[in-house]
């Protein structure tokens, strides 16, 4: 049973435009969400996170939005750059399992120059 | 200065063999993890240690045995390797805050295990 889903395996965006990556979850107990970025042959690197008490968190070109009623979060990258081309994973955790992340299957973003 | 390092990066071995993967972090974190990323790219937690104590043990075959000699190291030993063990194994570390929550996890570069 996959509790965190990223339904789009891939996404292509023109350089300078907005990239929107989506993530859905089923467990209403999740209260902390993260986005990780992964380049080939490297480990995932932390990008941005959001607590369930917020609906938006921004860090430079990256913004994460959380819609608790829809159990949906999204990552916006504006403007997109070729160096953003990578696989993006969303992850979720609960208060009772703060050390355990449940990861989605990832979305491969390709930013076209 | 590598924060979380794993050795080896690649491991090719025959079915039935026993092998180990080592992980070290120099971030001063107190919690370490092992993840498995299978052919479908699904990244799944296997084990976690906090201050050398096992705190997560997911449904993993007994052939997999983690060992944490100290807070900076978490090794993974696999007995009687099977074809299905072929995957990329990632080590990660994080730190537990005073609130009880954990900071984000830092990942190593991964070890690609191929069982023939």
> Low-confidence residues of chain B, pLDDT below 50?
none
How many angstroms separate the CA atoms of B47 and A28, rounded?
A: 24
Chain A nearest-CA distance from B17, in A, is 25
User: 3-state DSSP call for residue B52?
Assistant: coil
Nearest to A47 by CA among B107, B98, B46: B107
User: 3-state DSSP call for residue B83?
Assistant: helix
| DSSP characters over chain A | --SEE---SEEEEETTS-EEEEEEE--TTEEEEEEEEE-TTS--EEEEEEETT-SEEEETTEEEEEETTTTEEEEEESS--GGG-EEEEEEEEEGGGTT--EE---EEEEEE-
Which chain A residue shows the shortest CA-CA distance from B57?
Answer: A100
Q: Are A95 and A3 in contact (CB under 8 A)?
A: no
- How high is the pLDDT of residue A98? 52
- How high is the pLDDT of residue A99? 66
Q: Are B115 and B81 in contact (CB under 8 A)?
A: yes
- How high is the pLDDT of residue B36? 95
- How high is the pLDDT of residue B54? 87
Could you read off the pLDDT tens digit of each residue along chain A, which spans 113 residues? 689 999 999 999 999 999 999 999 999 989 899 999 999 989 999 999 999 999 999 999 999 999 999 999 999 999 999 999 999 999 998 866 556 889 999 999 999 99
How many angstroms separate the CA atoms of A32 and A3, rounded?
A: 14
Q: Is there a contact between A44 and B90 if contact means CB atoms under 8 Å apart?
A: yes
Q: Is there a contact between A44 and B43 if contact means CB atoms under 8 Å apart?
A: yes
How many angstroms separate the CA atoms of A40 and B11, rounded?
A: 17
Q: Which one of B37, B49, B53 makes the best mutation probe of the A interface by having the most chain A beta carbons within 10 Å?
A: B37
Nearest to B89 by CA among B60, B53, B68: B60
Q: Are B68 and B51 in contact (CB under 8 A)?
A: no
- How high is the pLDDT of residue B95? 85
Q: Is there a contact between A99 and B56 if contact means CB atoms under 8 Å apart?
A: yes
Q: Which one of B48, B96, B105 makes the best mutation probe of the A interface by having the most chain A beta carbons within 10 Å?
A: B105
Q: Which residues fall within 8 angstroms of residue B101, CB to CB, at 6 or more apart?
A: A32, A98
């Amino acid at each position: 049973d996959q509790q965190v889903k990223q339904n789009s395996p891939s996404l292509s965006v023109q350089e300078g435009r907005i990239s929107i990556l989506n993530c859905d979850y089923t467990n209403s107990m999740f209260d902390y969400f993260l986005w990780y970025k992964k380049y080939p042959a490297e480990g995932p690197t932390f990008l941005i996170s959001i607590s369930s008490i917020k609906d938006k968190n921004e860090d430079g070109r990256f913004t994460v939005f959380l819609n608790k009623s829809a159990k949906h979060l999204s990552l916006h990258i504006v403007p997109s750059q070729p160096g953003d081309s990578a696989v993006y994973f969303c992850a979720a955790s609960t208060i009772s399992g703060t050390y355990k992340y449940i990861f989605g299957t990832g979305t491969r973003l390709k930013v076209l120059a | 200065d590598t924060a979380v390092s794993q050795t080896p990066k690649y491991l090719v071995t025959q079915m039935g063999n026993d092998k180990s993967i080592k992980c070290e972090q120099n971030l001063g974190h107190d919690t370490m993890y092992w993840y498995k990323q299978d052919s479908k790219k699904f990244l799944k937690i296997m084990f976690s240690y906090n201050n050398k104590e096992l705190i997560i043990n997911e449904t993993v075959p007994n052939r997999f045995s983690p060992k944490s000699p100290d807070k900076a190291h978490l090794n993974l030993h696999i007995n009687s390797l099977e074809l299905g063990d072929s995957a990329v194994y990632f080590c990660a570390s994080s730190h537990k805050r005073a609130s009880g929550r954990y900071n984000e996890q830092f990942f190593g570069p991964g070890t690609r295990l191929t069982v023939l």
